Structure 1
Amino acid sequence: MSAMTADPPSIRRTLTAIAVAPFTRRAWAELSYLVVAAPIGIAVPVGALAFVTLLGFLAPGPAKPENVSFTGLAAGALVLFVLATRVARRLGSFQRRLAARLLGERVAEPPPYRPGKGVLGRLDPRVRDGSGWRAVAYLLLKVPVAVLGLYAVEYWVTGLVNLSYPFWWGLFRNHRPEVHLSPVPFLTPLRSGPFHVATYPGTLLVFAAGAASLLVAPWVSRAVVLADRWLIRTLLGPGRLVQRVRDLEQTRAQAVDDSAALVRRLERDLHDGAQARLAALAMNLGLAKEKLGDDDLGQLAQIRELVDAAHQGAKDALGELRDLVKGIHPPILDTGLPDALATLALGSAIPVEVTSEIPRRPTPAIETIAYFCAAELLANAVKHSHADTITIHVAEPNGWLLLTVTDDGVGGADPARGTGLSGLAHRVGTVDGHIDIASPPGGPTRVSIRLPPHA
């Protein structure tokens, strides 16, 4: 069998997707969006042009043979220039809400317009309103997209009309044999001229053409909607600089919250753990000291028990303090991230293979984040994956630190189920890192974390 032969199940799935496309909720939502958005996308620029032209005809001034006043045209263009960003912002807000409701495309609001005082104070911010001018650009680029959107709607209308052709065609026939029967034109989006149907069997051909038009219509609509969604994301949302500032504000707030939570956790652990054990140690040593002051040698056994308890308490307190220190900054990281990951792998209940390809050390903050991410991913794999082997690979492609943890377990890792992956995303986001999770049902699970070389 040739390697280029398509897989029959794949062909079946493709044909099924084509056949059911006109009946999906997504197809009808995209059609509804085009029905509302396409006429507006054409009407707004046409209305603006008509406004300027009307002022050119009505305004007084030196008239040309065409009776057009260039003074009026200039005044209309000036008014349009002043109001362009404000009107475009309102229409852009409407487009964002419409796309969010019908397409599920949610785009953040751009920063609000902040007018100054006085005429110049109000005019200057509008001239320098980047978000407003991007909205104006959207309205201009929307025109060809809106035209294509109307053409996509025509596919739907034509398909539905043609499907009904065999049912209503006979109502328009005159059945007197002495009168010539007038054919009914066949509606088609193809501009090759009307196709006339003079017999009922011909309506079946129209029905087939209508079915074909409906099968094509969802994909034409989807192509137009994809172009419109790209324009909305690119031009109607906040600019790159504004979005960057918002991301930094969110990551800063997350970092502050994480720091506060860490401080509270350390205080609680010290109060409930090491502090309590050291207090018990002090009490036992105080009782032992009192016993040693007695002359009764029969108290030696009790003194030995108190000293043993104090010794054990001291060892437990040291262990807890050592764990707290590791939770703040593992000392093994002082020798480098590869050695720290190797030490982490030695304590795993599942065999772990660690490979490293980093020519130079990242900054301590990045090393710490990478270490704790690896520790969390390793703990998740041991607890949930039922894997036989785990691999940890750290490299430095294109100047970024890339940490990849892979297991051959059952897969299905989902950040929404509270497996610690959402916390990792917040931790990585504080330094503008990225996390990518690939965990299909049945495995394998592959989590890749990209971190900058320095925080």
Structure 2
Amino acid sequence: MHADTPSTVRALVGGGVRAALRAPFTRRAWGETAYCLAGFPLALVGFVLLVVLLALGAGLTATLVGAVLGLLFLVAGTGLARGLAGLRRGLAAGLLGERVAAPRPFRPGSGAFGRLDARLRDAAGWRAVAYVAASLPVASLGAYAFAWWATALVNLTAPVRWAVFGQHPVVPGGSMPVVTPLPFGGTPHLTTFAGTFVAVGIGAASLLVAPWFTRGVVALDRRLIRSLLGPEPLAARVRDLEEKRALAVDDSAALLRRLERDLHDGAQVRLVALAMTLDMAKERVRDGDGVPSEEAARLRKLLDSAHLNATEALTELRDLARGIHPPALDDGLPDALATLAARSAVPVELAVDVPERPTQAIETIAYFCAAELLTNVIKHSGAARAEVAVRGEGGRLVLRVTDDGRGGAVAGTGSGLTGLVQRVRTVDGTLEIDSPEGGPTVVAVSLPFHA
């Protein structure tokens, strides 16, 4: 074990040296350098524009006459910051491979003052403002990091410039300045061609340091982007929980669908076969087949009872399977609702306009909501007719069931509406009831297209 230690150390040192020598020529170094080069003017212009807008906004808001105009300048500032944040996320994704999810889209309020208030309360916009303010110093360091690359290129070509392009002292006693990226230490001057190789050494050192300095600057900017330009921690957590909830809902819907198929293709088939076998046995007993009459009567009675139990079990099993997942949904929600409307004891007018097919879980919830609401219409409303309308509105699936009954429907009165409210809430759905005394009753169920 001790004998291997020196070789291990040598391997680590050798690997580190090779990595340091290769660093200036890697794609990562070039991408980070390009990011620093493109990021500085964007940060500078954005910072200046943002400071002007926010200064004007703050100054005018402090006065009574220009308060509204000042607020508009502040809103423009947050909007500009959001736009700059989008550019920085795109630049980071393209050059650094740093893909940060955008924050939630801005949700405007209702009315002019509602929209203005929502803009001023836009947390993502103000976090973008903080990024624009904090990114300028980092971008300045990025410009300085690019200076290391530039000075390396200039110094490495010093002999060529001296010999070919005549960049050497023109008058006796003149000298060639050597560019250095350091802000201190003075500027060395060369007076001979041999001295240009000192510049080459300085250039080589700058070339080796440049990628690591650039990487440190980019690491600072990465942290700013992740903390200020992505979703808020709580919003990211909510999004993660929503995705997990959607997977759980879809998995449960698929599991119930498989269970319904197993019941349909397995247990139901066996019960049908059992009922047919009992029918044949009854026929054999009825024909006599060597069985005494008294014994045949007892057997027929037992077979009749067994056949009745098998038939009832089959009916219950079919109802159970239909309650788990209606087979009509296999062809989509419109066909399933058409079947439901056709079976209703109250005439139902159906209108379906859905731009895209929802997920299986959403279709199932919408179907059972429609079925329960139509059941309530038949049992409690005394209505002569009903309407079922399903449409896509604002990116959501909206189901409305209307009847001309006596009204007065309220959740929690044993009408099944409480269970529907709980069902739709599992997928961030809503249920609204408008049922004045005397009717009509309108129940609207809003569901996302995807759980």
Q: TM-score range by the shorter chain?
A: 0.5 to 0.7
In 1, Cα distance between equivalents of 2:250 and 2:168 = 81
Matches within 5 A, 1:358-397: none
Structure 2: distance between partners of 1:285 and 1:118 = 72
Question: Does the alignment pair 1:184 with 2:176?
Answer: yes
For residue 34 of structure 1, report the CA deviation from its aligned partner: 0.8
1:77/1:279 Cα in 2 relative to 1: closer, same or farther (>3 Å)? closer
Match in the other structure for 1:134: 127
Partner of 1:37: 39
* Aligned: 1:114 with 2:107: yes
Unmatched 5+ stretches in structure 2: 292-425, 427-451
Within a 5 Å distance, the mapping from 1:148-167 to structure 2 comes to 148-167=141-160
Matches within 5 A, 1:390-409: none
Partner SS, residue 172 of structure 1: coil
Q: Structure 2 residue aligned with 1:172, among 156, 166, 171?
A: 166
Against the structure 1 CA distance between its residues 181 and 139, is the aligned structure 2 distance closer, same or farther, given a 3 Å change threshold?
same
CA pair 287-206 structure 1, distance change in 2 beyond 3 A: farther
> In the alignment, is the contact (CA less than 8 A) between 1:173 and 1:181 conserved in 2?
no
Contact 1:173 1:182 in 2 (8 A): no
Change (3 A) 1:228 1:254: same
1:164-210 deviations in Å (ceiling 9; x for gaps): 2221123235688xx41522111111121111122222222221221
Per the alignment, residue 79 of structure 2 pairs with 86
Deviation at 1:276, TM superposition (A): 3.8
Name the CA distance, whole Å, in 2 between partners of 1:147 and 1:75: 35
Alignment check: 8 A CA contact 2:50 2:80 kept: no
**Separation in 2, partners of 1:133, 1:27:** 32
Q: Secondary structure at the match of 2:241?
A: helix
Q: Which has the larger radius of gyration?
A: 2
Inter-partner Cα distance in structure 2 for 1:53 and 1:247: 38
The two structures have a TM-score, normalised by structure 1, of 0.54
Match of 1:229 among 215, 218, 222: 222
Displacement of 1:82: 3.8
Distance 1:43-1:193 versus aligned 2 partners, 3 A rule: farther
**Cα distance in structure 2, aligned partners of 1:203 and 1:138:** 44
2:14 aligns to what?
A: 12
- Structure 1 CA distance, aligned partners of 2:42 and 2:149? 19
SS of 1:201's partner is coil
Give secondary structure in 2 for the equivalent of 1:113. coil
Change in Cα spacing, 1:74 to 1:166, as seen in structure 2 (3 Å) is farther
Counting only pairs closer than 5 Å after superposition, residues 22-421 of structure 1 correspond to structure 2 as 22-49=24-51, 80-116=73-109, 120-170=113-163, 171-173=165-167, 179-180=171-172, 182-191=174-183, 192-280=185-273, 283=276, 295=289
Alpha-carbon offset, residue 81 of structure 1: 3.1
Percent sequence identity over matched residues? 50
Gap change, CA 1:47 and 1:165, over 3 Å in 2:
farther
Measure the CA separation in 1 of the matches of 2:53 and 2:122. 23
- Pick closer, same or farther for the CA change 1:289–1:19 going to 2, 3 Å: farther
- The SS at the match of 2:102 is coil
Question: CA shift at 1:275, angstroms?
Answer: 3.9
* SS of residue paired to 1:7: helix
For the residue of structure 1 that corresponds to 2:194, the secondary structure is helix
Residue type at the aligned position of 1:183: S
Distance (whole Å) between structure 1 residues aligned to residue 166 and residue 68 of structure 2: 55
Shift of 1:252: 2.0
Structure 2 vs 1, CA of residues 173 and 41 (structure 1 numbering), >3 Å: closer, same or farther?
Answer: closer
Alpha-carbon deviations, 1:386-429, whole Å to 9, x = none?
A: xxxxxxxxxxxxxxxxxxxxxxxxxxxxxxxxxxxxxxxxxxxx
Q: 1:175 to 1:114 in 2, by over 3 A?
A: closer
State the Cα RMSD in Å: 3.8
Q: Residue 189 of structure 2 aligns to a residue in which SS? A: strand
The number of residues matched between the two structures is 285
Q: CA deviation at 1:9?
A: 2.1
Structure 1 residue 282, shift from structure 2 partner: 5.2
CA contact (8 A) 1:162 1:186 kept: yes
Rounded Cα–Cα distance in structure 2 between residues aligned with 1:215 and 1:286: 92
Residue 131 of structure 1 contacts residue 236 of structure 1 at CA under 8 Å; is this kept in 2? yes
Segments of 5+ residues of structure 1 without an aligned counterpart are: 60-69, 298-429, 431-455
Asked if the contact 1:85/1:136 (under 8 Å) is kept, the reply is yes
In the alignment, the residues of structure 2 paired with residue 214 and residue 130 of structure 1 have an alpha-carbon distance, to the nearest angstrom, of 42
The CA distance in 2 between the partners of 1:194 and 1:205, in whole Å, is 13
Task: Indicate conservation of the 8 Å contact 2:29/2:215, yes or no.
Answer: yes
Task: Give the deviation of 1:283 after TM superposition.
Answer: 5.0
Which whole-Å deviations, capped at 9, do the CAs of 1:5-49 have from their partners, x for residues lacking one?
552222222222111111111111111111111222133323455
Deviations 1:266-295 (A, max 9, x none): 122333344444544555566567667764
CA drift of 1:95 comes to 0.7
